[in-house]
Structure 1
């Protein structure tokens, strides 16, 4: 049997009848087999969102399929991406001094549960050099006192470009990215915030939640934008608390939730399951 190529086609377009029929017919004509498909029509924006996982003949590579799809793109007004599933996305993880999310991501990756190539770990502290190198990954120490924030972020950008990084993950990286860096990484940088946004943005959300006597605390994975903790939300989860829990108890209880939420978001991103829809996201199962 000849080797089969596997691709993911994601697109958005104005919602109208016949889109799926047109795309399915095109893929059939190319000898492709649809293995999985999900779609959503947004009544608020009148846009149609689709993710298709397909198998293609061995002789049809990603570049050739991309060239052939152009007439369909024009006729259906598709805003699309086409990904070769044989190429894993490259992820860079940024961390400061709390390592629970980093450790969880590295463990999942090491066990084959996170389908990405981790390019390395970057930090403004040395705390997790040993952990990172134990996994056989490069550790990049970028302190803030070496030329200030602008110089540190420039080094981070150079690292992203040199290592062909597709996604930057802020795994409890306790630095606010500059507006310029946020714009350059738009749609390619995920942060974990230790609260159930939009509640308790900014610093020490567990302590503020404790002061308010909340009964649920949570974590939010979102895309990074220049507006602090305002980016499109990808994933959230909560855990129940009560009056007996101190702020420190909440911090400890929240760690597991943070790790799980961030891992879900990263996993969906590298499998091309997330699509931006204005200030919201669509996450296909």
Structure 2
């Protein structure tokens, strides 16, 4: 149910194509529901319901080459949206939980064998953050949160965000062959001051990005290590912008545009607007990996 292109309340129908989807241009999106029910610009925030009218999810993104529905839409599951709704009703505002750690799936083989499980590993910790304060260490394998098994870093981040700032969680951790239960408080994410720029939804191939300067509080919020160079980070991705189908997501640190190092938001905008040719080459950092994106100009 939604308001596509502003035409008014509209209902479309389809099936749940898959669950646990990621790479839809939504931050920490490991648990998204994929559906072939038509989702178009203007549908974001609308309800995905079953035939009995029960809420299944909240429409949030599409993958499309045309900008309209091509049968690949995504919704945030209702079990993740419900706690946020309850906190909004109770407090009038909401802040997701933040743990101050980077969790990677691609742990060293020796660690995986030692753990005997597929589980996210602590790659880095924010100095003074909740995880470091609680006693987590680099290399710890997190196998469960509050008794619920976790298999991926994104899945763990989903749980942390849904619990909300001010909550406590219990992490079951494997360290050196020993199993530990570590209680961790959750803080609100660090605030993002400083340089900021919003690309309009139709402002070229990267339209819909909000960019901020890579200052220390931004590194802390997104767990970006000091060794990562670059000057800007994606603070949000508009699901109705051209960029939504690119796979870029909140927290990606942009390193280069067309082979030129990006040192500030202003420098990126100058390079972006001056770019010539049919393609944009973007180099960015995410969760311990340097990645590349080639996108056609619009």
**Normalising by the residue count of structure 2, what TM-score does the alignment of the two structures yield?**
0.21
Larger radius of gyration: 1
More helix by share: 1
**Normalising by the residue count of structure 1, what TM-score does the alignment of the two structures yield?**
0.21
